[in-house]
Amino acid sequence: MHHCRICNHPTETFLDLGPMPLANAFLLPEDFLREHFYSLRAAFCPSCGMVQIADNPDPEDMFHGDYAYFSGQSRYMVQHFQGFAHSVRDTLGLGPKDLVVEIGSNDGTMLTNFASAGFRHLGIEPSGNVADVARAKGVETLVTFFNRETALAVREQQGPAAAIIGANVVAHIPDMHSVAAGIKALLAPDGSFVFEAPDLASMIVNGAYDQIYDEHIYFLSASTVAHVFGLYGLTLVDVQEQWVHGGSLRFWLRHSEGARISDAVARQLAKETRLGLGETKTYDAFRRRCEKSRDQLRQVVGDARAAGKRVVGYGATAKGTIVLNYCGLTPEMIEFVSDTTPAKQYKFTPGTHIPVLPHGAFAADYPDYAVLFAWNHREEILAKESQYAAKGGKWIFYVPDVHVL
């Protein structure tokens, strides 16, 4: 039986996605035979409401010197992080003498906005290869995992942080208690902790089961963030909806003493209650929707192949790894997956072993159908690929439901 990582209460498994490889572990044929699989199950804690995966692989197996995800790959994300950085700077009235710490700073895409303006800053990033890219841009980076011990060491050396920021990282860290204790210890008395994460409400509304994978330990909501960080004397003072990663929330937290809470928090909490995020039946309905989506996607791709059409994937995303494996899509069904990330190219998709090829392979010989695995970048990609559609190419989407465009 699995126990909640937050409150230790037994959880309820609501979706079993089967044996899964690590979602970002694109690999070469010589590694096919020693590929590692784990059991991927999503669970709901009826006591504290936290949605989480039941078993997680060791973080050191996921975040290392050969990590495949580079934040700077999407032009929109680069702009988004510039907006995030400016919003933090302006809302908190930060100046160059203030210390800004980012957790999960990856290739420095966000922190470069502070570094280039001469701010004191520090990125904390365990994946050495992406950290090297950040350092080459002039972003100071400590190659380690953020936790309470790291936070205490940083405070000792650099003093308290005026702002601690992060994107797509807090829900990646299994020991959220240690994260919260670390934030509490490192944050200056009037400092703020601002982080973004794909949110549970969006996942449920979109039927986006592909957000469930090894790196995403938790699926957060205003309710659960307020609860966990509240245990450590930190208060959720504001929350803002973001469109990135298929729907995210930006959470603003401060030390609890004297914290003033914006109306947006109550509005978000009410929305989460309305959506039934604290109720078991919501997750049962989600499972039925996922099973239907899986059967439909298999059918659409199978019908296209039976008619002799070529089908490829667009975007070798971690999300795509889940869809390919859960839906049982094979290299006979999906010819290749196109992706702009050099570290993924000429490797094969985890578990399903479909070749990942550079964008040129897609552009040089348009397929009949392309499954959009990078659906969170839909606007950017459809605009960029208008020629594909103009020449009769069709897109297959599976979020919010399976449909062909």
**Residue numbers at the binding site for ligand TYD (CB under 6 A):** 69, 73-74, 315-319, 339-341, 344, 374, 376-377, 380-381, 384
By C-beta, is 124 or 277 nearer to ligand SAH? 124
Question: What long-range pairs does 257-266 form, CB within 8 A, spacing at least 24?
Answer: 257/233, 259/235, 261/235, 261/236, 261/237, 262/237, 262/238, 264/238, 264/239, 264/240, 265/222, 265/226, 265/236, 265/237, 265/238, 265/239
Any contact of residue 321 with ligand SAH (CB under 6 A)? no
Binder of residue 45, out of ligand SAH, ligand TYD, none (CB less than 5 to 8 A by kind): none
Smallest gap from Cβ 315 to ligand TYD, in A, equals 3
Smallest gap from Cβ 390 to ligand TYD, in A, equals 17
Shortest-Cβ-distance residue relative to ligand SAH: 104
Binder of residue 232, out of ligand TYD, ligand SAH, none (CB less than 5 to 8 A by kind): none
Smallest gap from Cβ 259 to ligand SAH, in A, equals 25
Alpha-carbon 276 to chain mean position: 23
Any contact of residue 127 with ligand SAH (CB under 6 A)? yes
Contact (CB, 8 A) for 6 and 228: yes
Binder of residue 127, out of ligand SAH, ligand TYD, none (CB less than 5 to 8 A by kind): ligand SAH
Smallest gap from Cβ 133 to ligand TYD, in A, equals 15
Please name the residue that has the structure tokens 């603003």.
Answer: 252
Please name the residue that has the structure tokens 């809302």.
Answer: 91
By C-beta, is 141 or 317 nearer to ligand TYD? 317
Any contact of residue 69 with ligand SAH (CB under 6 A)? yes
Any contact of residue 133 with ligand SAH (CB under 6 A)? no
How is 79-118 classified by DSSP, letter by letter?
HHHHHHHHHHHHHHT--TTSEEEEES-TTSTTTHHHHTTT
Q: Residue 392: which region, alpha, beta or left (left: phi > 0; alpha: psi -120 to 50)?
A: left
* Whole-number Å distance between alpha carbons of 220 and 216: 10
Any contact of residue 128 with ligand SAH (CB under 6 A)? no
By C-beta, is 171 or 181 nearer to ligand TYD? 171
Take residue 237 and report the two structure tokens written for it.
Answer: 């003072």
Any contact of residue 247 with ligand SAH (CB under 6 A)? no
* Cα-trace Rg, the chain: 21
By C-beta, is 17 or 217 nearer to ligand SAH? 217
Burial class of residue 358 in the structure, from the number of CB atoms within 10 Å of its CB (0-12 exposed, 13-18 middle, 19+ buried): middle
* Whole-number Å distance between alpha carbons of 238 and 261: 6
* Options 52, 56, 71, 321; binder of ligand SAH; rule CB under 6 A: 71
Smallest gap from Cβ 319 to ligand TYD, in A, equals 4
- Piece of the chain touching ligand SAH by CB under 6 A; list 122-130, 132-140, 332-340, 367-375: 122-130
CB atoms inside a 10 Å sphere around CB 339: 28
Binder of residue 106, out of ligand SAH, ligand TYD, none (CB less than 5 to 8 A by kind): ligand SAH
Contact (CB, 8 A) for 138 and 123: no
Contact (CB, 8 A) for 61 and 381: no
By C-beta, is 61 or 190 nearer to ligand TYD? 61
Smallest gap from Cβ 232 to ligand SAH, in A, equals 16
CB atoms inside a 10 Å sphere around CB 257: 8
Q: Which residues bind ligand SAH (CB under 6 A)?
A: 59, 63, 67, 69, 71, 103-104, 106, 124-127, 130, 145-146, 167-169, 172-173
